[in-house]
Amino acid sequence: MSREDVLVSAAWSEENLSAPGVVFVEVDEDTTAYDGGHIPGAVKIDWRNELQDPVRRDFVDRAGFEKLLSAKGISNDDTVVLYGGNNNWFAAYAYWYFKLYGHDAVKLLDGGRKKWELDGRPLDKEQVERPATSYTAQEQDLAIRAFRDEVVDAIGNKNLVDVRSPDEFSGKLLAPAHLPQEQAQRAGHIPSAINVPWSKAANEDGTFRSNEELAEIYGEAGFDGSRKTIAYCRIGERSSHTWFALHELLGHEDVKNYDGSWTEYGSLVGVPVELGSGKEA
């Protein structure tokens, strides 16, 4: 898989804003960012209210994903270009969702909102509504999703890549510093995990580093390319970005995202937990 299969540039995106069969979708941590200005013609997906099951802790199911994409005017044949703020943090999360439910023609706008704005490209405040479609999703591709029992079994046997900040990894914090310190009973990290903060994969302008740079970053942290891999963070969104770097860019085939991540693992009874800095990239 080449970069062109999974990434598009800001220049390409501006040239294809009105191209048939191309749909731009904004997904941001700050779900109000879209209203302040977005790429012309882009629709919005609210990760908190539209991608999560409203009752149990899980994603929307297959039927829910079909309903969502149908309402957004996305069809099975469309090429979906996802973007957002903060180095495509939540856009990568949505990308992983699309892949989970079998939508192959999905790409990230390399650099996301940051690169778009740095280039001085146009933004629009118009609320975009596309004609509804009848989208059909596939069953979840569990080859890219890890669950807690597999994670426990992976200790010492697979690459466990903790993509949180060094302070979260060491146990000083439960969550990123700008968020409430909650949602897990214990701090620390999964034993045998390496710490490669997700943002190390990005350049200053939000674009992804070169494959050579990425391979060096993960290799220096102790990543073993011959092993199966599970990436995790706090709720699975930052680790989606790392999953993208390892699976989609570097081409490691057996890479899973543990979306339960630390908010699940850090509240489990009887599982091993380590404190301390370990080896950070």
203's CB contacts (< 8 A; 6+ apart) are 111, 209
What would the pLDDT profile of 22-79 be if each residue is shown by its tens digit?
Answer: 999 999 999 999 999 999 999 999 999 999 988 888 989 999 999 999 999 999 999 9
Cα 149–267–276 angle (5° rounding)?
A: 95
> Of residues 39, 161, 233, 235, which has the active-site annotation?
233
* Residue 132 annotated as catalytic: no
* 84 neighbors 27 (Cβ within 8 angstroms): yes
pLDDT over 90 at 2, yes or no: no
Looking at the domain 143-265, which fold is it?
A: Oxidized Rhodanese; domain 1 (3.40.250)
Same fold: 3-140 with 143-265: yes
Residue appearing with tokens 């706090």:
234
Mean pLDDT for all residues in the chain: 95
Residue with tokens 């214990």: 186
The structural domains of the chain, with segments of one domain joined by +, span: 3-140, 143-265
Q: Which fold has domain 3-140?
A: Oxidized Rhodanese; domain 1 (3.40.250)
- Tell me how crowded residue 210 is: count the other CB atoms within 10 A of its CB: 12
Please, which residues have CB within 8 angstroms of residue 162's CB and are 6 or more apart in sequence? 169, 189, 190, 193, 194, 195, 196, 232, 233
pLDDT score recorded for residue 278? 62
> DSSP alpha helices (H): ranges in 24-61?
47-50
Q: Is it the case that residue 109 has pLDDT exceeding 60? A: yes
How far, in Å, CA of 22 to CA of 214, rounded?
29
